[in-house]
Amino acid sequence: MARSTFVYVTYIRTTPEKLWSALTDDVEFMKQYWFGVHCESEWKAGSSWKMVHPDSSITDAGEIVEADPPKRLVIRWRHEKKPELKAEGDSLCTMEIERSGTAVKLSITHTIESEPSQFITAVSGGWPKIISNLKSLLETGAAVLRDPYSAN
């Protein structure tokens, strides 16, 4: 079967533990880099996962497939709001964290068993903005972008 994939890699001046916490545990911190959105889960394999927006709506949901703090997180992810994206089914989002000198390498691979995929096109526009905000927030204490829909 055909597969669509988006890969994003960045290096962040932080520790694996602080990055893991920013991605999973610290809801208020997460809202700062994810434009008011936060994710809820127990962050253990088999636990449910959902993306919650400021108005309490849930646009994406799924399950934690693998959680190996602070190294690897795999989420089975399904979009719930737009019918054309929901129809594509489950995707898999893999986040890998590894120390690299004084920084941490964060690799995000988001795949879906559909080619072409409108869902992967959508996340490929979102991940760079979200992770740029995360990197800036961890390194400087301030997010760089305030509006996820602003032009490049």
pLDDT, tens digit, 9 for 90 and up, residues 65-94: 999 999 999 999 999 999 999 999 999 999
Taking residues 28-36, report their average pLDDT.
95
Q: Which CATH superfamily is domain 4-140 in?
A: START domain (3.30.530.20)
pLDDT at 114: 85
* Confidence check: pLDDT of 113 > 90: yes
Tell me the sheet residues that pair with 107.
9, 96
Instruction: Return the axis-axis angle of helices 118-140 and 16-24, rounded to nearest 10°.
Output: 130
- How many residues would you count in the chain? 152
Q: For residue 115, what pLDDT band results from cuts at 50, 70 and 90?
A: confident
pLDDT at 66: 98
Taking residues 83-110, report their average pLDDT.
96
Cβ neighbours for 13, distance < 8 A, ≥ 6 positions apart: 102, 103, 104, 138, 139
Structural domain spans, the chain: 4-140
pTM: 0.92
* Confidence check: pLDDT of 64 > 90: yes
Quick one: CA dihedral 41, 144, 106, 119, positive or negative? Answer: positive
* Confidence check: pLDDT of 151 > 70: no
- Give CA torsion, residues 35, 37, 43, 47, to 10 deg: -150
Q: For residue 43, what pLDDT band results from cuts at 50, 70 and 90?
A: very high
Q: Which two tokens stand for residue 120?
A: 């992967």
